[in-house]
Amino acid sequence: MAFAKDFLWGAASASAQVEGGWNEGGRTPSIWDALIDGHIKYNDTPAVACDTYHHAKDDAALMGEIGLRSYRFSISWSRVIPAEGKVNPTGIAYYSNLVDELLKNGVTPMITLYHWDLPMWVYRKGGWLSEEISDLFADYAKTVAEALGDRVGYWLTFNEPQVFVGAGYNRGTHAPFLQVGKVGIETVTRNILLAHGKAAAAIRQYAAKTPKVGFAPSARCYTPTEDTPDAIAEAKRLTFEGSITHTGNIWWESPIVRGEALDEQKHFLSEDDLKVIHQPLDFFGVNVYQSRNYLAKGEDTAQRRAKWGQPRTQMGWAITPEVLYWLPKFYYERYGLQILITENGLANCDVISLDGAVHDPQRIDFMTRYLAHLKMAVDEGVPVIGYQYWSLMDNFEWDKGYAMRFGMIYTDYANGCRRVPKDSARFYSEIIRTNGENLPTLPLNW
Ligand code: GAL
């Protein structure tokens, strides 16, 4: 088996990380505009970011030139609904135009409704701690589905609940920088799960074109340490281990995908809640960067390996291409849903060289290894429908500001956010053109 002919080779981004135009066209601030003072490296802010707010046409054309078949982007809730009960036509027009430009260039749009930029007006009502939020989110989903659902076929409700809850509500390192404790985490969890269910239903009800609906969890995966059935079984067990914390996969997946509450969720999720939360999904989205075996800190397990000189990206994340083989297999076996890789990529110390180009052999090497492993899973018959490289262009990396460059396009912030496609963008074009057929056959990395 090879990659399907219509495999969705693409790239991803998120509104707060790329858009800028934070107070333009009727948009009101999000928690990533209003609450970040003193929390971001070098005091960076997302006020301008990559200025995609003013570059929709050129960016879509560039994606067309690279040959991308899909682009996963998120909607800024406060651009569309800047205040309670108010829809902003200028905000809708911005996204509608972006969708048209993408389609004109042969790029399939994929929309994420929530990639962390909670409107301040919702936050002031209590944000994810408020019981009202799931209905507000469903209204927002309806508005977007009505406006764009005639042309957009792929929808993701949430990006990485694990991360925005873990970092934003437990550790306090991401906006809104809270530490709400166990009961608070349970409240936030229930509200997010209900919001997911209500939004998924609203998308199906109001999108004119039959939608494909999923979400994009930060999909953890342990990988086997040796080629034995026991090691493989152990990696799978750890991958789906139950956990009373929000970081466990199944904390979110059991209610969303299976309609089941974990034992430790039963006191705050009712059967009626589960009916709302458990909506049919068309695919299982996964954001994945590394095997969990190599976490620098945190869970200590027999699977964990400390390797001298383990190659890591600038984020400190272990380069473990085998995760793109095991993860789709494990998740497909468990949930029986087609897999969409919604994020994967690396941050690298990229510079514009004296010749004016951005040479990033590390990224090309990373893509080659990871995609070669993904191909092994596809060759074995695992139904993977697409791969969205993170990210289309260098952008605002949350608490790390602009210090991390993940893009296949270099963003020259000092010069009007000029876009400079890196060598890896040309490399990716070739992968897309040949539909991954020229990827090398590598031995499975253990
Ligand atoms: C993900 C997140 C993205 C991006 C990426 C790289 O967790 O969804 O927004 O920041 O990591 O760190």
Beta strands in 65-197 (DSSP E): 70-74, 108-114, 154-159
Query: Which residue among 290, 397, 408 has the greatest number of ligand 1 atoms within 8 angstroms of its CB, and so is best to mutate?
Result: 397
Q: What is the pLDDT of residue 293?
A: 83
Q: What is the pLDDT of residue 248?
A: 74
160 is catalytic: yes
Q: What is the pLDDT of residue 292?
A: 87
The amino acid present at 264, given as its one-letter code, is E
Q: Tell me the mean pLDDT in the region 156-184.
A: 96
For residue 289, how far is its CA from the centre of ligand 1 (angstroms)?
9
Backbone angles phi, psi at 70, to 5 degrees: -150, 155
Pocket of ligand 1 (CB under 6 A): 14, 17, 159-160, 163, 218, 287, 343, 390, 397-398, 406
Separation of alpha carbons 65 and 291, rounded Å:
33
pLDDT at 300 over 60: no
Query: Which residue among 290, 390, 404 has the greatest number of ligand 1 atoms within 8 angstroms of its CB, and so is best to mutate?
Result: 390
Residue 218 CA: nearest ligand 1 atom is 7
Q: What is the pLDDT of residue 106?
A: 98
Query: Which residue among 343, 363, 388 has the greatest number of ligand 1 atoms within 8 angstroms of its CB, and so is best to mutate?
Result: 343
pLDDT at 294 over 90: no
Average of per-residue pLDDT values in the chain? 95
Structure confidence at residue 445 as a pLDDT band (50, 70, 90) = confident
Separation of alpha carbons 238 and 389, rounded Å:
26
pLDDT at 446 over 80: no
From 58-67, 154-163, 374-383, 437-446, the region with the lowest mean pLDDT: 437-446
* Contact partners, residue 131, CB within 8 Å, separation at least 6: 191
Residue of minimum CA distance from atom 9 in ligand 1: 14
The tokens describing 234, both together, are: 């152990």
Residue ranges per domain, the chain? 8-433
Backbone angles phi, psi at 422, to 5 degrees: -80, 170
For residue 111, how far is its CA from the centre of ligand 1 (angstroms)?
16
Structure confidence at residue 61 as a pLDDT band (50, 70, 90) = very high
Residue 345 CA: nearest ligand 1 atom is 6
From 199-203, 246-250, 308-312, 342-346, the region with the lowest mean pLDDT: 246-250
For residue 1, how far is its CA from the centre of ligand 1 (angstroms)?
31
> Which residue among the candidates 19, 253, 322, 343 is catalytic per the annotation?
343
Concatenated DSSP letters for 354-401? Answer: TTS----HHHHHHHHHHHHHHHHHHHTT--EEEEEEE-SB----GGGG
The tokens describing 300, both together, are: 């200590």
Q: Tell me the mean pLDDT in the region 47-70.
A: 98
Kindly report, residue by residue over 119-141, the tens digit of the pLDDT. Answer: 999 999 999 999 999 999 999 99
Q: What is the pLDDT of residue 225?
A: 84
Concatenated DSSP letters for 51-80? Answer: -GGG-HHHHHHHHHHHT-SEEEEE--HHHH
What b-and-e string marks burial along 192-222, b requiring 16 or more CB atoms within 10 Å of the CB? Answer: bbbbbbbbbbbbbebbeeebbbbbbbbbbbb
437 is catalytic: no
pLDDT at 302 over 60: no
Structure confidence at residue 15 as a pLDDT band (50, 70, 90) = very high
pLDDT at 226 over 90: no
Backbone angles phi, psi at 370, to 5 degrees: -65, -45
For residue 218, how far is its CA from the centre of ligand 1 (angstroms)?
9
Structure confidence at residue 396 as a pLDDT band (50, 70, 90) = very high
Q: Which fold has domain 8-433?
A: TIM Barrel (3.20.20)
